[in-house]
A and B are shown apart, each in its own frame.
Chain A
Amino acid sequence: MGIAVGLSGLAFGAAAVTAGLSVAQACVLSLLAFTGASQFALVGVIAGGGSLTAGAAGALLLGARNTLYGLRLADMLPWRGPRRLVAAHGVIDETFAGAIAQRTPADARASFVTVFAAIYLTWNLTTLIGGLATERIGDTDAFGLDAMGAAVFLALLAPRLREGRREVGVALLAAVIALAAVPFLPPGVPILLASAAALVIPGGRAAASPAADDGGPSEQEVRP
């Protein structure tokens, strides 16, 4: 995962500088926003000629998923005060995926801290390198970095799809909603709208006792 994040960081630094940001601005985003999809959304809108407001709105809408991750992680990360303030900065796709894959709260905490530290260092260092080296790198698409960004998300999603038919249904519906909305809504909004797929598909037994579903999909679950 480290190398993948590193390559994404290079791509972000390059994309930000290509969009007209300074290297310092790209680095501030990686240090303080530290949520890749939002950062890409902001510079993507700026590069595409969109307004700064639209770019920031897209970034914040994408960042709202971290709120949902935090809701789920709060049980496993029972820190208070300054430690919670620091931990909050680490609530992103990768730390969330790592923590919820663990079996005990202690393992989840250890995974969260390790992944947060490793990705924070890698992401910021490679943003700097990518920004500085943009002229040499040129068109990052030529290296297939755009396909790799989506592949990162696919690899994060794959284990969840093996959990059962409900997850597959939610994923397919979300993808359809997002693509259907893209022509009509500003960048970033279709992705948030797609989270409605989580509401539409009924949950079966998983709601009452998540542990009960560990054995595999249940026949009573979902026929969307």
Chain B
Amino acid sequence: MTLWLVIIGTCAGCYLLKLAGLSAPRRLLDHPAVRRFAMAVPVALLAALIAVQTATDGGRELALDPARLGGMGAAAIALLLRAPFLVVLVAAAGVAAGLRLLGL
């Protein structure tokens, strides 16, 4: 029951956070500092998500998993070669799964 309440609360909160951004006063974005921040924030957040997902154990502590690092390396190489999105993902998953199969 508690779990259900937490789930419903999380859903409501996530929705209101989305709505708040779309409904914020337009003037806010006319401010150069706010605009600059809003442009750069997704880059910062995506980079942080990548770092945390790649080099930690579920965000709890730093952990370098060789297979996951190998998968990310493969994805980075595929992106440098301008490979299509799907190829990038298959390369990441394939290399990580392959390295785990080898016992890494």
Binding site for B on A (CB under 8 A): 1, 3-4, 7, 21, 25, 28-29, 32-35, 37-38, 41-42, 44, 47-48, 52-53, 55-56, 58-60, 63-75, 77, 84-85, 87-89, 91-93, 96-97, 141-158, 160-161, 166-167, 170-179, 182-183, 187-188, 190-192, 194-199, 201, 203, 206-208, 210
Contact between chains at B19 and A56 (CB < 8 Å):
no
Q: What CA separation (Å) do A150 and B73 show in the bound complex?
A: 11
Interface residues of chain A: helix, strand, loop or mixed (majority): helix
In the complex, the chain A residue whose C-beta lies closest to that of B52 is A178
Inter-chain CA distance A44–B53, complex, in Å, is 12
A41-B59, A194-B48 given; 12 more Cβ-contact pairs under 8 Å: A32-B12, A34-B14, A87-B22, A88-B19, A143-B97, A151-B71, A151-B91, A175-B50, A177-B48, A191-B45, A194-B44, A203-B40
Interface residues of B (CB under 8 A from A): 2-4, 6-15, 17-24, 26, 28-29, 32-56, 58-62, 67-68, 70-72, 75-76, 79, 85-86, 88-89, 91-98, 100-101
Q: Is the CB of B96 within 8 A of A146?
A: yes
Taken together as a complex, chains A and B put the C-alpha atoms of A34 and B19 apart, in Å, by 13
Judge whether B38 and A151 touch: CB under 8 Å.
Answer: no
Inter-chain contacts of B95 with A (CB < 8 A): 144, 147
- Picked from B11, B22, B29, B50, the residue with its CB within 8 Å of the CB of A150 is B50
Question: With A4-B86, A150-B54, A182-B59 in contact, do A170 and B40 touch (Cβ < 8 Å)?
Answer: yes
Specify the main secondary structure of chain B where it touches its partner.
helix
Q: Is the CB of A191 within 8 A of B52?
A: yes
Contact B62 A179 (CB under 8 A): yes
Which 3 A-B residue pairings sit nearest by Cβ, starting from the closest? A70-B21, A147-B71, A144-B96
**With A38-B14, A48-B58, A66-B14: A191-B21 Cβ-Cβ less than 8 Å:** no
Q: How near does chain B come to A44, taking the closest CB pair, in angstroms?
A: 5
Please measure, in the bound complex, the distance between the C-alpha atom of A31 and the C-alpha atom of B64, giving whole angstroms: 33
Selected from A66, A149, A199, the residue in CB contact (under 8 A) with B53 is A149
> Among the listed A7, A148, A160, which residue makes an inter-chain contact with B43, where contact means beta carbons less than 8 Å apart?
A160
CB pair B6 A52 closer than 8 Å: yes
B3:A182 contact, CB within 8 angstroms: no
Contact between B68 and A25, CB atoms less than 8 A apart: no
The residue that B75 contacts in the complex, of A25, A64, A71, A154, with Cβ under 8 A, is: A154
User: What residues of A have a CB within 8 angstroms of the CB of B38 in the complex?
Assistant: 68, 71-72
* Complex contacts, A56 vs chain B, CB 8 Å: 6, 9-10, 13
Nearest to B73 among chain A residues (CB) is: A147
- Cross-chain pairs A/B with CB under 8 angstroms, 26 sampled: A32-B11, A32-B15, A33-B10, A55-B10, A58-B59, A59-B13, A66-B14, A68-B41, A71-B21, A71-B29, A74-B21, A84-B23, A85-B19, A92-B18, A96-B42, A144-B71, A147-B72, A147-B93, A150-B71, A150-B75, A172-B47, A174-B48, A187-B59, A190-B48, A191-B45, A198-B44
